[in-house]
Structure 1
């Protein structure tokens, strides 16, 4: 039986064996992180509140790039090299931007996907990270959640 997430103006079903991670006060309340049983995670964070008349600006792109670079630097500091791959516009569907950061931990390939998307009344970044085999095994679940988010 799937569990239901209802917060941040979003509602979606997710596997009941995923655990919502506890957040410290410093992390704020504008996001949630779900831990996968296989060791990966699915995280969503509100990065900007959008009003009904708000349109994307060049500043949004700068903010996204700064966030991507920050995450990339953290990965490099912890794990060494990281390979960055920007998705081409024709593959984005409803997302504004998707970037994959791939790196190795021990002998395992880790995929960290960043998805920038407007949902509800805000702009969100969704980060999905898991070892490559686990990522592929959960790809349909991730796609189903993204579909629910886009349809709501």
Structure 2
């Protein structure tokens, strides 16, 4: 039975055996206030949702995430992604890098609605990703159905 996250004005399903970390960034200014939630798998992978004011652009936010990761992993491979999921147009990046001699994949997707701009980010070591990519996709679809 999946657990339900219902806070910060968003709702989505996630695996009940994953760990929830719900936080807010109280130090940001009124135009920069960001609310976020992260869900962690037992194996260490995670899926995060950040909520920004609607004046933030999805393309800029996704690029900011990609640049921050590239600052950590200079040899990272990056692919630009545009896709439609549950009727929503998403922009973002798929990124692959090596950390502690293991290959990792991170993906960022962003979208704009009249209420907010949303950024979804997930990351996993590739062996675990093979098992949980469908879970990440289901969480994203669940979130997008609720805001659609």
Same fold, TM-score > 0.5, yes or no: yes
Match of 1:99 among 93, 97, 113: 93
**Number of equivalences:** 139
Structure 1 CA distance for aligned equivalents of residues 27 and 50 of structure 2: 14
List alignment gaps of at least 5 residues for structure 2: none
Please, what TM-score do these two structures have when normalized by structure 1? 0.75
**How far off is 1:20 after superposition?**
1.5
Question: Separation in 2 of the partners of 1:111 and 1:118?
Answer: 24
CA distance in 2, matches of 1:46, 1:20: 16
Question: Paired residue for 1:49?
Answer: 54
Give CA deviations for 1:88-136 in whole Å, capped at 9, x if unaligned. x4x4342330211211012211111001123682210000111112222
On the 8 A contact 1:119/1:150 being kept in 2, the answer is: no
Q: CA RMSD in A?
A: 2.6
Structure 1 or 2: more strand by fraction: 2
CA distance in 2, matches of 1:60, 1:71: 13
CA distance in 2, matches of 1:71, 1:48: 16
* CA-to-aligned-CA distance 1:30-85 (integer Å, 9 cap, x gap): 111111111111100012237xxxxxxxx726xx33x3444334334434421110
Residue pair 2:62, 2:119 contacting (<8 A) in 1 also: no
Q: CA separation in 1, counterparts of 2:67 and 2:112?
A: 25
Higher helix share: 1
Return 5+ residue gaps in structure 1 as ranges: 51-58
Aligned to 2:10: 10
Distance 1:144 1:125 in 2: 16
Give the whole-Å Cα distance in 2 for the aligned partners of 1:6 and 1:120.
19
Instruction: Pick closer, same or farther for the CA change 1:73–1:99 going to 2, 3 Å.
Output: closer
- Cα distance between partner residues in 1 of 2:114 and 2:38: 18
1:60 alignment partner, one of 48, 57, 60: 57
CA distance in 2, matches of 1:38, 1:103: 18
Which is further off, 141-150 or 114-123?
Answer: 114-123
